[in-house]
Chain A
Amino acid sequence: MMRCAFILMFALFPGLAWGQTGLVADISERTIEIRYSFSGAHLLLFGAIKKDAGLDVENPDIVVVVRGPAMPVVVRRKERIAGIWVNMDSLTFINAPGYYAVASTRPLDEIADRRTLRTHEIGFNNIQLAIQTALDAEEYNAFRSAFIRNKGAEGLFFSSTANVTLAEDVLFRTDVELPANVPVGSYAADVYLFQDGQLLGSHSTDLVVDKSGFERAVYDLAHMRPALYGLLAIFIAVAAGWTAGTLARH
């Protein structure tokens, strides 16, 4: 039965390759195209633990982390000034992931210790967010947790325990949700295999989220030929207004 599943998996996904440590995984779509009808994507990440690779795996834990492209982000804090709320202090994180989803078979702190998790940046608390200027820890943490909270509110950061299903300690699968506001760029889906707090292996799959077709053409024109884009926008508006004005007369 298990063998059949494997054969089927390899037949369907020829790109599937064993990681160096007895882990294999793939994702249902490696290229996510944002087209006019895009309202988010639902991906399936699946894989298997190779039992006969010199590993004696029992009761393994699987953690899946999907990371979006890193980009600089400003976090601003409002203060009340003369009765109104105004942005005052700010902090820039130089390389904040635009998307971060973590799923695991059990709560992360039961799977491994803080140090291991931190090394591999697994879990919200362990994402390394670099800043340019020195800042006292309390302030840094306030801005840091605000960043994660806001990303969560945008639907771009989420974590779930027990969202990874593991069948017979061999096959695993999890769902990956990309919302409509997902940033464009290169993503990595990393699978980590743990047992008794030890990291036994990992596997990384790259995926790309990109605008395509009409959405890509409009975006490229706006950014690469902004003057032409502006003139086109004006032309469309004038033509539409003119047509409406002429039609209304009759």
Chain B
Amino acid sequence: MPLYLPIAEMSMNIFLLLGMGAAVGFLSGMFGVGGGFLMTPLLIFTGVPPAVAVATEANEITAASVSGALAHWRRGGVDIKMGAVLIAGGAVGSFIGAQVFKILRELGQVDLVISLAYVLFLGSVGALMLKESLTAIQRQRKGVVVVSKKRDHSGWIHRLPLKMRFRKSRLYISALLPLIIGCLVGFLSAIMGVGGGFIMVPAMIYILGMPTNVVVGTSLFQIIFVTASVTFLHSVNTQTVDIVMAVLLLTGAVIGAQIGARAGLKLKGEQLRAILALIVLGVGVRMAYGLIVRPGDLYSISPVLGS
């Protein structure tokens, strides 16, 4: 059943959009990730203009992270204070990101930068995750019990000014750290059309040293606000948020996420991480392939913006 999308200005099958939403929702429910890093490339591959894909996906992730954050909130897994500092950084980052995005669009380099960002971040995060999870699986087979390492902040982190106490995370650290991390993730969110959980979660664990029980909840909590801000900025700057597409994607995603969350319970943590790592790497490799292989037509056309 074809449906005309008013902002993307193309006709797409309703069931294709619902199905893509459900498939990515299934994986995001299973692995506890937002799924933006999968959905945005998928939309681009199906012919949605990259600018519309990025902006609309930010809108969809807001919905996904609200329902995810709600579940963590109920069991006390959200550090509001830490979230607020991350959001403050995220607001700055997403603002800069949206401006950079607008300039890149005018220069005709937005597709290239989206692809490069995906290759760089998904490639490195995927490789690290795969290595970590495979080591964990091997260790478990050998029956080695791993004692988690004590959080260990190197000296320079402790010497940073503006120290703040985060009770829920049991931390006393400089507010500059979460501000900078929030800013970086907000920037990537605006450029890549992702929530940024795949960067935020490791950063929270390894750089901030937050306890794992508040990491995912706090990450989702701040993603709500960062993606909402990205949605707003893209709406104002480039008018590329397609509400109709977002509603269809998130309807599918919400249903898929519930099924995925149940399916995820049947797998072990390190197995889940290994599968997720392979998917992340796969998307990165696909993006790299698109950059390296000679395009069918070296020329491309696009409307002049602001006309």
Contact = CB atoms under 8 A, between A and B. Distances in A.
Chain A binding surface SS class: helix
A241 interface: yes
Nearest to A85: B295
Contact of B11 (A143, A180, A226): A180
Interface stretch (A71-79, A106-114, A194-202): A71-79
Contacts of A84: 112, 116, 291-292
A150 B297 contact: yes
A83 interface: yes
B46 interface: no
Contacts of B235: 222, 226-227, 229-230, 233
Contacts of B246: 233, 236-237
A146 B295 CA distance: 13
A4 interface: no
A150 B300 CA distance: 7
A67 interface: no
Interface in B49-100: 59-60, 62-71, 74
Interface stretch (A9-17, A52-60, A160-168, A211-219): A211-219
A215 B241 CA distance: 14
A230 B10 contact: no
Contacts of B295: 78, 85
Interface stretch (A19-27, A31-39, A117-125): A31-39
Contacts of B68: 241, 245
Interface stretch (B1-9, B204-212, B276-284): B1-9
Contact of B239 (A40, A73, A215, A222): A222
Interface residues of B, number: 58
Contacts of B74: 249
Contacts of A78: 295, 298-300
Chain B binding surface SS class: helix
A237 B67 contact: no
Contacts of B294: 80, 85
A76 B300 contact: yes
A75 B3 CA distance: 29
A72 B69 CA distance: 45
A241 B64 contact: yes
A230 B236 contact: yes
Contacts of A7: none
Interface in B249-294: 250-251, 254, 257-258, 291-292, 294
Interface of A: 34-40, 71-80, 83-87, 90, 92, 142-143, 146-147, 149-151, 153, 180-181, 211, 214-216, 218-219, 222-223, 226-227, 229-234, 236-238, 240-242, 244-246, 248-249
Given A76-B299, A222-B7, A238-B224, 12 more contacts: A39-B4, A73-B303, A79-B298, A150-B301, A218-B243, A218-B244, A222-B241, A236-B247, A238-B228, A240-B247, A240-B250, A241-B68
